Structure 1
């Protein structure tokens, strides 16, 4: 194998593939990156068994020659060492050549590195994914869905299924739900060409966070293919495979209240800033608790009290308040995460009592719902 490539393009591809590389893998060859070259360009693959990322760099793009392939072939190189070498090469022209055996030469300017590679035949083959369940959506919508849900997955491995986001086809649309049993985030959307056969899968939160870093901030189409134990996200030059979590996701529909005793509409950004300030004093406490009470039609009072530090009270104007008076306490972090997901619009908050879950929605858009369980302090 021998090819010449622009260093900046090689680095772009490497930065994506490196997101799948882990030093803690059961199969030693997975600490390496598989590189394959042919007349169309080069493909790099990285995997940690849970996530596999393939990135393709075309030989030519928009009439510009990016890669000259002199001899096709494949090799596996130690990921960490290879990416460090490429990052520090002196010029933008890089030549990579595999000589006799698995000796690999990397040349740039006056720098000349020799690495011992591994046989690409020993690298695990990619999962087979049939297009039985496939649909697509723009990349920026996909990134929004991830941002609005993934923060609510559980960080505890005691219930592994809750460390993922539940994607389910519902009424011709897609429902994405994450919960750690103290809060819940739900996003509804209607992607194009939804499969007619219903599906229900749980995607690891970690996989979605890595996917979010790779996806472009534009309307490029992402094709999603669901297979037996895998899901594949395809963009123009990147394939992102993730294993799916096994088990049944709990039925969360019962958690979402249908009627409310107290409702209010408030500017999301003002509320977020007030809770952020109140949490400055709550942070010392283990649970970071903030108190919240409606104030006879004048607005809502946000307060926090830490015996060793001090206390804070702040009145936040509301656009509208209706229903019973209410005092409730909750985690400042959970509330701030929820408000950030809805992102600064006017927000409707619906309560069903001091110890019942409450929900937050955008006034303009019903597709995002956040639910939080309160904390008993009063």
Structure 2
């Protein structure tokens, strides 16, 4: 195997693929990165058996030549050393060559590294998913779906199913839902031109976080395919495969209150900053609990109190308050996460009493929903 490649292109692909490589794996060869050279380009592969990432660098694209002098072949290189070597090479192009004894030479300018490779035949084959039953959505839309839900997954392994995000595709609508049983985040979008459906799958939150980091902010489409235990996200040059979590996701729709007793509409940023300030003196407590009270005259009072530290009180005017008076306490962290996830200038918050879950939605009725359970304070 031999090729000469533009260093920047190689670095970008190596960084993407590294997100799937772990030093803690039961299969030793998976601590390496597979490099495959074909006449149409170079493919890098990394996998930790939970997620697998394949990145393709085409020989030529838009009239720009990325790779020259290709002799086809493949090799596995130690991921512990290869990325650092590539990053620190002196010139804009890199020549990589391997011989029949799996010895690899990496040259750039006057620098030359010799590495021991491993046989690519021993690298596990990635399952090739059929894309007959796939659907497409714009990359930037997928990124906002992830961003608006994945933060609410559970970090506790006691209920593994809650460490993932629940995806459903039904009646032309794609829904993402995440909950850690104290809060819930969900968003729904219409999917046009796709006839296929899947009832309910759960993608590990960790996988979606890595995918979010790799995807570019573009309007180009991502193709998504699902099989019984894997989900594949495919863009023009990237192939991101994740295993799915086993088990049944809890039915979350019954958590969402049908009617509300107090509804307020408020500017998102103002509320966010006020709660952020109130939480400064509530840090001692486990959840940084803050208290919200309606005051009449379109005013809210937000309080943060920690007996040993001190107390903070701030009034904030809202666009409108309807319904009963209310005093409620909640985790400031959960509230801040929820408000940050809603990318809208104003939010509508619906309460059904001091001890019932409450709902935050964008004021423009975009189908994003954040639900938070209040905290008992005596």
| TM-score with structure 1 setting the length | 0.98
Distance 1:128 1:140 in 2: 25
CA contact (8 A) 1:132 1:227 kept: no
Q: Hey, what does 2:239 align to over in structure 1?
A: 239
Shift of residue 131, structure 1, vs aligned partner = 2.4
Once residues 265 and 69 of structure 1 are traced to their aligned partners in structure 2, the CA distance between those partners, rounded to angstroms, is 63
In the aligned structure 2, how far is the partner of 1:129 from the partner of 1:199?
19
For 1:115, the equivalent position in structure 2 comes to: 115
Q: TM-score, normalised by structure 2?
A: 0.98
Gaps of 5+ in 1: none
Compare 342-351 and 238-247 and name the one that shifted more: 342-351
CA displacement, residues 82-104 of structure 1 (integer Å, 9 cap, x when unaligned): 00100010111110000131000
Q: Distance in 1 between matches of 2:79 and 2:32?
A: 5
Give the aligned partner of residue 318 of structure 1: 318
Distance 2:133 2:328 in 1: 44
SS at match of 1:162: helix
Of 163-172 and 308-317, deviating more is 163-172
Q: Does 1:357 align with 2:349?
A: no
Inter-partner Cα distance in structure 2 for 1:28 and 1:99: 22
State the 1:174 CA deviation.
0.9
Distance 1:303 1:161 in 2: 35
- Is the CA contact (8 Å cut-off) linking 1:127 and 1:230 kept in structure 2? no
In the alignment, the residues of structure 2 paired with residue 24 and residue 369 of structure 1 have an alpha-carbon distance, to the nearest angstrom, of 37
Per-residue CA deviations over 1:220-249 (Å, capped at 9, x if unaligned) read 110001011100000000000000001000
Q: CA separation in 1, counterparts of 2:198 and 2:64?
A: 44
Q: Contact 2:146 / 2:208 at 8 angstroms: preserved in 1?
A: yes
Distance in 2, matches of 1:343 and 1:366, equals 10
Where does residue 181 of structure 1 map in the other structure? 181
**Residue 206 of structure 1: aligned partner:** 206
Give the aligned partner of residue 262 of structure 2: 262
SS at match of 1:20: coil
Q: Secondary structure at the match of 2:80?
A: helix
Quote the offset at 1:214 in angstroms: 0.8
- Displacement of 1:308 after TM fit? 1.3
Q: 5 Å matches for 1:101-180?
A: 101-180=101-180
